[in-house]
C-alpha cells in the first residue's frame, strides 16, 4: 500500500452539504507511519463541527471487494481508514433539496471524511485486510437502529460506479434487500422545542414557524419546567435546539417572599435543569435575557458589560444567564420592553387613549421597544445562520425613548393629543408604593446582532404596524387596568412568560 506522506491538513467541501473530506498529515519512516486521525483543536479551527464523539467503531474486512451500506444513522460520523484502501460512497438521505445527492471517493489512511446525521454511508474495500473506523456522536442501541434510513447499493438513481461490480462483491443479504431511492422515506431533521409557547414571544415563534414540522411547542400545561420528570421523559437525542421563552416576569411581586422563591425556581433552578440537558446532549439552548440584568447607569449596554441587577427579578435573570453561559452551544438573547400578542404597554396606552384618559407615564427611563415578531426572527436567524454562540442584544432599532414619549406616540397614532400624556419621574410615580427598582437606561447596543447579518427594524415602523394589525389605532380596547389615570409602563415591559 502506498500512502502519500506529509499532506497539509486540509478540508475539502463536497456536493453534499455538511460532508467534508479531509486530507490528513501522515508521517512515515522505515518503521511505518503515524497520523493524528482526529485532532479536535485543529479540525474545529478549520470548520469541522465540534461534534463530541462518544463511541469508536472499527470494521475489519478480510477480503478486497467487501461492500457494506448504504446506511444513514441518526448521528454524525467521522470516518477514516486505519489500514488498506476503500472506495467510499455517500448519499444524502435527509429531507430537503439535496435528497439523493451522491459523493464518491477513494480513501487511504491519509484521508478522513465527516458525515452528518442522515447521510448514507457505504464502502467497498480495494485491498485485503482493510480496517474502516468510525467516531460517532451517539451510543449504538436497538432503539437507535430503528431510526436508520437505508438505500440499496445497486440503486439506479444513485448510479454508484462500484470499482468491483456488485455481482462480484461480498454483500450481506440485508444490504441486498434495501429499498430503491423512490421508496426511501427521508430522514427528518432534528427537532426544535419552544418552551413558554403560550406567552407573547411563544406566540410569535408559533406564527414564525407555522407549518414547520420540525418545531414543537410546549406551554406550561405541556411541559412543566419545575418538574424534573418532564425533562427525563423526553428523548433529547432527537432535538437540536431548545428555545426557552418561559420566565417568571412579575418584577414587583418578585420582591415579596413568595415571589422571590418562585422567581428563583423558574428563572434559575429550572433553567439549570435545561442547561444540564442541553450540555449532556449537545443541544443548542436559546435563552431570553433582559435589560434588568443592568443597573442602567451606562449610556449604552453592550454584551460584555458586567451584570449589576438592582432587584430580585434582575438578579434571577442574571443568574440564569450565568448558568446558560456554560452550555457549549448557547445563545443568550437579551431584550427589553417587549411588545407582542397580549397585555403590553402599547396596547394599554391605546386603550387609555380610546377612553379619553390622560395618563401620567414615567419619563426618566430610557430604552427601545422590542416587538416579539422581531425577537423571534432574530432567534431564527441565529439558529439558521450558525452564528457564533454567546450573548446577543436584540431590540428594535431607532432612537431611544422614554415610556412617556412612546405613550405620546401611541396617543398621536390613535388620533389623540400628545399633550394628553404627562411625564413623571420614577420616584414621583412610586411615591408611597412598594415596587422593585428599575434601570433608568435600558438602551442595548445592537452592533453584534447586526454583525451576524440581522438588521432589527425600526421601533417607530413596528408600532404603526402593530396598532393597525391589532385594530387599536383610534379604536377602543377591553378595559383591563384599574380605573385610575396613572400608569407605570414597566409593569408590562417583559411579558415573556407562558402563564
What distance in Å separates the CA atoms of residue 51 and residue 114, rounded to the nearest whole number? 10
CB 421 within 8 A of CB 408: yes
Among the residues of 46-110, which ranges form H helices?
A: none
Residue 387 to residue 375: CA distance in whole angstroms? 16
Instruction: Compute the Cα dihedral for 364, 338, 264, 307 and give only its sign.
Output: negative
What CA–CA distances, in Å, run from 203 to 161, 212, 218, 223?
50, 14, 11, 16
- As given in the structure block, the three cell numbers for residue 47 are 470548520
Is 248 one of the catalytic residues?
A: no
Catalytic residue among 71, 281, 405, 470: 71
Of the candidates 351, 323, 249, 344, the one whose C-alpha atom is nearest the C-alpha of residue 291 is 249
Q: Of 22, 132, 134, 429, which residue is the catalytic one?
A: 134
* Cβ contacts of 87 within 8 Å, gap of 6 or more: 104, 105, 106, 123, 124, 126, 162, 163
What DSSP line would sit under 380-414, residue for residue?
HHHHHHTPPSEEEE---BSS-EEHHHHHHHHHHHT
Phi-psi region of 63 (alpha: psi -120 to 50; beta: other; left: phi over 0): beta
Active site residue 71: yes
> Catalytic residue positions?
71, 134
Amino acid at each position: 500500500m502506498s500512502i502519500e506522506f506529509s499532506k497539509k491538513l486540509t478540508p475539502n467541501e463536497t456536493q453534499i452539504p455538511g460532508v467534508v473530506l479531509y486530507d490528513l498529515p501522515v508521517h512515515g519512516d522505515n518503521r511505518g507511519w503515524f497520523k493524528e486521525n482526529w485532532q479536535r483543536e485543529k479540525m474545529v479551527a478549520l470548520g469541522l463541527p465540534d461534534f463530541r464523539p462518544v463511541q469508536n467503531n472499527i470494521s475489519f474486512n478480510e477480503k478486497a471487494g467487501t461492500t457494506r451500506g448504504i446506511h444513514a444513522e441518526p448521528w454524525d460520523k467521522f470516518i477514516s481508514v486505519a489500514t488498506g484502501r476503500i472506495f467510499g460512497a455517500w448519499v444524502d438521505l435527509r429531507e430537503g433539496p439535496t435528497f439523493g445527492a451522491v459523493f464518491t471517493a477513494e480513501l487511504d489512511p491519509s484521508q478522513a471524511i465527516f458525515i452528518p446525521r442522515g447521510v448514507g454511508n457505504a464502502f467497498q474495500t480495494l485491498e485485503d485486510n482493510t480496517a474502516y473506523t468510525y467516531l460517532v456522536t451517539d451510543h449504538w442501541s436497538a432503539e437507535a437502529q430503528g431510526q436508520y434510513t437505508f438505500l440499496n447499493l445497486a440503486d439506479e438513481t444513485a448510479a454508484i460506479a462500484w470499482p468491483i461490480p456488485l455481482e462480484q462483491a461480498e454483500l450481506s443479504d440485508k444490504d441486498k434487500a434495501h429499498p430503491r431511492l423512490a421508496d426511501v422515506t427521508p430522514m427528518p431533521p432534528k427537532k426544535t422545542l419552544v418552551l413558554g409557547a403560550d406567552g407573547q414571544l411563544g406566540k410569535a415563534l408559533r406564527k414564525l414557524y407555522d407549518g414547520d414540522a420540525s418545531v414543537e411547542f410546549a406551554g406550561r400545561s405541556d411541559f412543566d419546567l419545575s418538574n424534573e420528570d418532564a425533562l427525563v421523559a423526553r428523548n433529547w437525542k432527537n432535538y437540536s435546539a431548545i428555545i426557552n421563552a418561559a420566565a417568571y416576569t412579575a418584577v414587583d411581586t418578585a420582591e415579596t417572599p413568595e415571589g422571590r422563591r418562585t422567581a428563583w425556581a423558574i428563572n434559575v433552578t429550572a433553567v439549570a435543569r435545561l442547561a444540564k440537558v442541553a450540555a449532556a446532549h449537545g443541544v443548542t439552548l436559546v435563552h431570553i435575557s433582559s435589560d434588568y440584568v443592568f443597573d442602567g447607569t451606562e449610556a449604552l449596554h453592550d454584551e460584555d458589560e458586567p451584570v449589576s441587577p438592582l432587584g430580585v427579578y434582575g438578579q434571577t435573570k442574571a443568574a440564569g444567564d450565568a448558568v446558560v453561559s456554560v452550555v457549549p452551544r448557547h445563545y443568550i438573547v437579551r431584550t427589553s420592553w417587549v411588545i407582542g400578542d397580549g397585555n403590553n404597554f402599547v396596547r394599554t396606552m391605546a386603550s387609555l387613549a380610546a377612553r379619553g384618559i390622560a395618563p401620567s407615564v414615567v419619563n426618566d427611563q430610557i430604552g427601545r421597544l422590542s416587538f416579539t415578531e422581531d425577537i423571534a426572527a432574530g432567534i431564527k436567524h441565529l439558529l439558521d445562520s450558525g452564528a457564533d454562540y454567546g450573548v446577543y442584544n436584540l431590540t428594535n432599532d431607532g432612537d431611544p425613548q422614554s415610556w412617556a414619549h412612546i405613550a405620546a406616540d401611541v396617543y398621536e397614532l390613535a388620533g389623540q393629543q400628545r399633550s394628553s400624556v404627562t411625564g413623571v419621574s420614577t420616584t414621583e410615580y412610586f411615591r408611597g408604593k412598594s415596587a422593585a427598582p428599575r434601570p433608568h437606561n435600558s438602551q442595548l447596543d445592537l452592533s453584534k446582532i447586526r454583525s451576524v447579518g440581522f438588521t432589527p427594524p425600526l421601533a417607530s415602523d413596528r408600532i404603526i404596524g402593530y396598532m393597525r394589525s391589532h385594530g387599536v389605532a383610534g379604536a377602543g380596547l377591553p378595559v383591563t387596568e384599574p380605573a385610575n389615570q396613572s400608569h407605570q409602563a414597566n409593569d408590562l415591559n417583559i411579558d415573556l412568560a407562558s402563564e
